[in-house]
A and B are shown apart, each in its own frame.
Chain A
Amino acid sequence: MLKNISPLQIFSLFNLYLFTTLIAFLAGELIAGSKYASPVATIIGAFLALLLMYPAYKLASSRPEEFLTEYGREIVGSVLHNIFIVLVIISNLFLAAVNLRNLTDFLLMEYLLGTPSWSILLVFCVCIAYAVRSGLPTIFRVAQGIFLITAIVFFIIPFLSAAEIEKDMLIALYTHLNFVHLGSGTYISLVVFGELSFMYLVFPYLKSPEKLYRTFFLTTVSSLLLILSHLIPILLAFGPDLASNLTYPDMELIRFIRYGAFFETLDPILIILWLTSLFVKIAFTIFIIVTCLAHLTKTRDHKPFTLSITAFSAILSLSIARSQPELNEFVLAGALPTLLIAEFLIPWIYWIVNLIRAPKKNMDKQAAE
Chain B
Amino acid sequence: MRILKKKLTTLCLGLLPLILLSGCWSSHEINNRSFVTMMLIDLAEDGQTELTLAFILPNRMIPGMTGGGGAPKGEPFTFVTHKAENISQALSKISVDLSRAITFGHTQIIIIGEKFARQGVTPILEFVERQTAFHLSSNIFVTQGDVLQVTKTPLVFEQFLSVILTKYIRLHFTLDTTVKDVIIADYKGGDILMPLLSFTKHPEIELENPKKDLWMGTDGAAIISGAKMVSPTLNSDELRGALWISSQIKSSIISVPSPTDGKEISCVMQNISTNFKPILKNGELSFQIKSNAKAFILDTKSAIDLSEGELLLQIEKNLNESVKKNMESVINKTKKAKSDAFLMSNYVDWRYPKIWSELKPRWKDYYSTRLPIDVSVNIDLDRTGGSYRSITLENQTK
Residue numbers of A with Cβ under 8 A of B are 109-110, 112-116, 119, 122-123, 126-127, 164, 166, 168-169, 171-172, 175-176, 237-239, 241-242, 245, 247, 252, 255-256, 258, 264-265
Contacts and interface: CB of A to CB of B under 8 A. Distances in A.
B137 A255 contact: yes
A113 B136 contact: no
Contacts of B352: 175
A324 to B, nearest CB: 12
Contact of A175 (B132, B180, B276, B353): B353
Interface stretch (B50-58, B72-80, B295-303, B343-351): B343-351
Considering residues B17, B25, B350, which has the most beta carbons from chain A within 10 angstroms of its beta carbon? B350
B26 interface: yes
B184 interface: yes
Contacts of B132: 109-110, 247
| Overall SS of chain A's interface | helix
Contact of B350 (A115, A116, A171): A171
A238 B353 contact: no
Interface string B77-105: 00000000000000000000000000001
- Interface size range on B against A: 20 to 34
Contacts of B347: 168
Nearest to B137: A256
Interface of B: 17, 20-21, 25-26, 28, 105, 129, 132, 135-137, 180, 183-184, 187, 275-276, 346-347, 349-353
Given A109-B132, A113-B28, A238-B180, A258 B17 contact: no
A110 B132 CA distance: 7
A171 B28 CA distance: 46
Nearest to A257: B137
B28 A264 contact: no
Contact of A169 (B135, B350, B353): B350
Contacts of B20: 119, 122-123
A241 B346 CA distance: 12
B184 A239 contact: yes
B184 A175 contact: no
Contact of B25 (A115, A164, A169, A258): A115
Contact of A258 (B137, B275, B351): B137
B17 A256 contact: no
B17 A123 contact: yes
11 contacts: A109-B132, A115-B26, A119-B20, A123-B17, A123-B21, A168-B276, A171-B351, A242-B183, A252-B136, A256-B135, A264-B137
A114 B25 CA distance: 8
A116 B26 CA distance: 9
A250 to B, nearest CB: 13
Contacts of A255: 135-137
Contacts of A256: 135-137, 180
Contact of B349 (A110, A164, A172, A264): A172
Contacts of A238: 180, 184
A257 to B, nearest CB: 9
Given A168-B276, A264-B137, 19 more contacts: A112-B25, A114-B25, A119-B20, A119-B25, A123-B17, A123-B20, A123-B21, A164-B180, A168-B347, A169-B350, A171-B350, A176-B350, A238-B184, A239-B184, A241-B187, A242-B180, A252-B136, A256-B136, A256-B180
A270 to B, nearest CB: 13
